[in-house]
Amino acid sequence: MSERPPILYCRCAYAQVVPDAVKDGVLDGLCASGGGFDSVADLCEMSARKDPRLAAVAEGGPVRIAACHPRAVRWLFHAAGTPLGEDAEIVNMREGDADDALGELLGGEAKC
């Protein structure tokens, strides 16, 4: 298994703004990959509720987050009182296709 930061996958389940084909393709790819990952139903909902588990993500060191536009995701964490560190990488599933997103999540480099 390659050395890569832990992955957090957002399903955007409360009001699906991420295209189904992308989020399903990314989930399939993560499930077929060699390592585990964490997944949440909806980061927006967690931010609104100030879910204490966002702090675990923000304070846990490097992480790759598969969600939507990086600007939105960063400030959602901030809104919950748990700003993400500079070493958090956000992979945008609202743009591009599942292969692009998987390449960034599982590969050596992810852009944010």
Partner 1 sequence: MMIDNESAPVRVVLYEGDGADPLDATDRAGVLRSLLDRGYMVSDARGGTGGALAASAGERCFIVIGQFGGGVAPRLEDGAGGAQIATCDISGLSPDAVLSAVENARDGQPMNQPGAWKPWFPVIDYDRCTNCMQCLSFCLFDVYGVDGDNQIQVQNNDNCKTNCPACSRVCPEVAIMFPKYAAGPINGEPVSDEDLSREKMKVDISSLLGGDIYSRLRDRSEAAKSRFSKERDSDKALGERKRCLTKLAAQGEIPEEVLASLPSPEEIARKAEEAKEKANAALAANRSSD
Contacts with ligand SF4, residue ranges (CB under 6 A): 10, 12, 17-18, 42-44, 67-68, 72-73, 76
When CB distances are held under 5 to 8 angstroms depending on the partner's kind, the choice from ligand SF4, partner 1, none that residue 18 binds is: ligand SF4
Residues 6 or more apart whose Cβ sits within 8 Å of residue 6: 37, 38, 60, 62, 63, 64
To the nearest 10 degrees (0 to 180), the angle between helices 98-106 and 20-32 is 40
Strands 88-92 and 63-67: parallel
**What are the residues binding partner 1 (CB under 8 A)?**
1, 5-8, 11, 13-15, 17, 24, 27-28, 30-32, 34-42, 44-45, 47-53, 55-57, 60, 63-65, 68-73, 75-76, 78-79, 94
